[in-house]
């Protein structure tokens, strides 16, 4: 008897699916120009926002939130100009859930190749009672009407349930269901005050994914603040639970303690790809340049030990680490500096540095010394390192030129 055609078909189908198995794509929504800029000391003018938006486009973000159009004429102009300038990413702007905000937002965003209206209202009891002075029923109606109004202007509408993590979960499920019915294509569940923790946020997101009947009609987005230093960890937990979009900022700038840092969440997904099995469209080699552009625009540097982009992020000072990295970089490096566009693997020499690292640096900066010369230079280097925290290439050159050449 010939082969069972059903079995053969199943075999080919399974193999075809295996070969074509793609990692889930996570959309990177950058809000450096909106939530980031809202923090004191980080405001940007129109030209600066355009410069930054062009760099974000090179970086490969999926969405640029360019501002809050109704908040000021300057921000309206900035959102309009960013919408007119960038071509690849979706461009959005924040609007409260009322017709005036949404109409003004649309007037700025309509110039974009791919516009999105982003509207929001708070859904937690604390916010509804004290800030909005509205009942949950009233808030639900406002949210639905805002999304319907926005959808009449624009195909791509995102709704955010502000303070989602402190909202009643049954009410939150209802809101998500109804705004999706009203036409929202993305529903964002922010941890507005940086209050949640990974295991709790993972549960909130998985409840939404499992309980909201029409959840597959929209992308669930997460937006975490860093008040407890957990914004990146919370975002990763949410991705694991099924979120499809992460809202974040370059250098983690943003209200109070900041937002989820783009470079940290993207590199965590990249370095631990096997664990998450997701991908982003980010060109990681543009990360360092994006970070530097932002610090040069705002005049606010990141701390030296900032993950991924800080001055010390790839610097190995302890002798034992320097020796390991020189032998095999993966001993102490989980990603290469080049993978984030960092100029080079910087071995900062200091009092803990060993002879091996010192000799390697001598070679790198062009000095080939014999053993006795190395002894003299190394002794001088240790003397200097005791007085000075970090020893730079210029210091080493001075040691060689003064101590060795004069011998």
Q: Which residues define the annotated binding site for Mn(2+)?
A: 35, 223, 225, 259
Residue list 223-262, contact with ligand KIV (CB under 6 A): 223, 225
Distance in angstroms between the alpha carbons of the first and the last residue of the chain: 93
Residue list 191-250, contact with Zn ion (CB under 5 A): none
Q: Is 323 in the site for Zn ion (CB under 5 A)?
A: no
Q: In this complex, which beta carbon is closest to ligand KIV, that of residue 249 or of residue 284?
A: 249
Q: How far apart are CA 29 and CA 116, in angstroms?
A: 12
Binding site feature residues: 35, 223, 225, 259
Q: In this complex, which beta carbon is closest to ligand KIV, that of residue 106 or of residue 120?
A: 120
User: What's the min distance (Å) between Cβ of 163 and ligand KIV?
Assistant: 6
Which of 89, 105, 190, 258 touches ligand KIV (CB under 6 A)? 190
Which of 42, 76, 106, 120 touches ligand KIV (CB under 6 A)? 120
For tokens 């109409």, what's the residue? 103
DSSP state of 226: -
In contact, 251 and 309? CB cutoff 8 Å = yes
x/- mask, Zn ion, residues 139-168, rule CB under 5 A, reads: ------------------------------
User: What's the min distance (Å) between Cβ of 107 and Zn ion?
Assistant: 23
Residue 269: closest CA among 21, 17, 23:
23
CA 352 → CA 322, 361, 378, distances in Å? Answer: 10, 15, 12
Residue list 22-51, contact with ligand KIV (CB under 6 A): 35
Tokens of 270: 């990249």
User: What's the min distance (Å) between Cβ of 331 and ligand KIV?
Assistant: 40
Sign of the dihedral through C-alpha 306, 310, 313, 315: negative
Residue list 24-43, contact with Zn ion (CB under 5 A): 35
In contact, 260 and 232? CB cutoff 8 Å = yes
Which helix (H) or strand (E) segment holds residue 63: the answer is: strand 63-65
Residues that bind ligand KIV (CB under 6 A): 35, 120, 160, 162, 188, 190, 192, 223, 225
């Amino acid at each position: 008897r010939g082969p069972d055609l059903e079995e053969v078909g199943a075999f080919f189908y399974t193999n075809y699916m295996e070969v074509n198995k793609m990692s889930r794509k996570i959309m990177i929504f950058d809000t450096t120009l909106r939530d980031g800029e809202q923090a004191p000391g980080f405001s940007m003018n129109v030209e600066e926002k355009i410069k930054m938006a062009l760099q974000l486009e090179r970086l490969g973000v999926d969405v640029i939130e360019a501002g809050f159009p109704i908040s000021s004429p300057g921000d309206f102009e900035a959102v309009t100009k960013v919408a007119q300038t960038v071509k690849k990413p979706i461009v959005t702007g924040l609007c409260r859930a009322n017709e005036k905000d949404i109409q003004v937002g649309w007037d700025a965003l309509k110039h974009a190749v791919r516009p999105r209206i982003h509207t929001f209202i708070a859904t937690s009891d604390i916010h509804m009672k004290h800030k909005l002075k509205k009942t949950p029923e009233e808030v639900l109606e406002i949210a639905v009407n805002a999304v319907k109004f926005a959808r009449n202007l624009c195909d791509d509408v995102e709704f955010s349930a502000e303070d989602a993590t402190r909202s009643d979960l049954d009410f939150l499920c209802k809101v998500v269901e109804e705004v999706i019915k009203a036409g929202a294509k993305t529903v964002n569940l922010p941890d507005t005050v940086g209050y949640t923790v990974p295991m709790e946020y993972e549960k909130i997101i998985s409840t939404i994914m499992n309980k909201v009947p029409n959840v597959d009609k929209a992308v669930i987005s997460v937006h975490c603040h860093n008040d407890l230093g957990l914004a990146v960890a919370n975002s990763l937990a949410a991705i694991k639970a099924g979120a499809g979009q992460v809202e974040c900022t370059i250098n983690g700038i943003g209200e109070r303690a900041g937002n989820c840092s783009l470079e940290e969440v993207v590199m965590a997904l990249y370095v631990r790809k096997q664990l998450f099995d997701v991908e982003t469209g980010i060109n990681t080699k543009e990360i360092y340049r994006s970070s530097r552009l932002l610090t040069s625009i705002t005049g606010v540097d990141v701390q030296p030990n900032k993950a991924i982009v800080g001055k010390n992020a790839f610097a190995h000072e302890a002798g034992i680490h320097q020796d390991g990295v020189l032998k095999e970089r993966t001993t102490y490096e989980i990603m290469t500096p080049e993978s984030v566009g960092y100029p080079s693997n910087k071995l900062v020499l200091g009092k803990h540095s060993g002879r091996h690292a010192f000799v390697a640096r001598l070679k790198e900066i062009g000095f080939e010394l014999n053993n006795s010369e190395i002894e003299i230079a190394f002794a001088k280097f240790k003397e200097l390192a005791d007085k000075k925290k970090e020893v730079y290439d210029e210091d080493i050159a001075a040691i060689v030129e003064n101590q060795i050449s004069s011998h």
